Amino acid sequence: MESSDEVAVEKCRVHLRPGTLRDAACATLHLLPCEVQVNGPAPVERFFTPAIRQGPDGLEVSFRGRRLRGEEVVVPPGLVGYVTVMEEKGEVPVGKDFSERSSNEDEREEQELAEPPEALERDFDQFIGATASFRRFTLWGLETIPGPDAKVRGALTWPSLAAAIHAQVPED
């Protein structure tokens, strides 16, 4: 373990558990046009989902008394959406090992072809796993559906442009 926390962060590697990418169940995602300052469970199925109506121009719902309009946005081709969660550090080793590992255990046997993890994993490293996947999400705007100029839509064009910027150029 590093003596200084800062150094540890720079040296730290966060390993994404590949098995979790395959097994992630499909999730329902909504991108709201407001900031909810909390992270945690919320009874979305009880209040939000049943209130969604199909209006003449897309979906309608209300949240905290405000009218929202939305539409489904598809994840760009070639990409998959994932929800990931950082695994707790060793502080609660028992809880971690039993809740997180149970599903990984059976996979371990299939993965006899595991490449040597040599030096890739160190004991101060952290782990992150996908808990859910998605192919589309619902984008919501206040009163109107977010227009074509919405920043999110711009961001979704990025992967196709990035592919060109980073493609190898031909040698002379």
Least gap, CB of 102 to another protein (angstroms): 17
For another protein, the binding residue among 14, 62, 66, 67 (CB under 8 A) is: 14
Interacting residues with another protein between 74 and 93 (CB under 8 A): 74-89
Distance (Å, whole) CA 1 – CA 80: 35
- Using the rule CB under 8 A, is 159 a contact of another protein? yes
Least gap, CB of 101 to another protein (angstroms): 13
Q: How far is CA 46 from CA 51, 68, 69, 81, 106, in A?
A: 9, 17, 19, 24, 35
Distance (Å, whole) CA 142 – CA 114: 49
For another protein, the binding residue among 105, 123, 143, 164 (CB under 8 A) is: 164
- Using the rule CB under 8 A, is 147 a contact of another protein? yes
Binding mask 31-60 for another protein (x = CB under 8 A): xxxxxxxxxxxxxxx--x--------xx--
Q: What angle do CA 37, 158, 166 make, to 5 degrees?
A: 130
For another protein, the binding residue among 109, 115, 123, 143 (CB under 8 A) is: 115
- Using the rule CB under 8 A, is 123 a contact of another protein? no
Token pair 């109107």 is found at 144
Q: How far is CA 52 from CA 36, 55, 85, in A?
A: 19, 9, 28
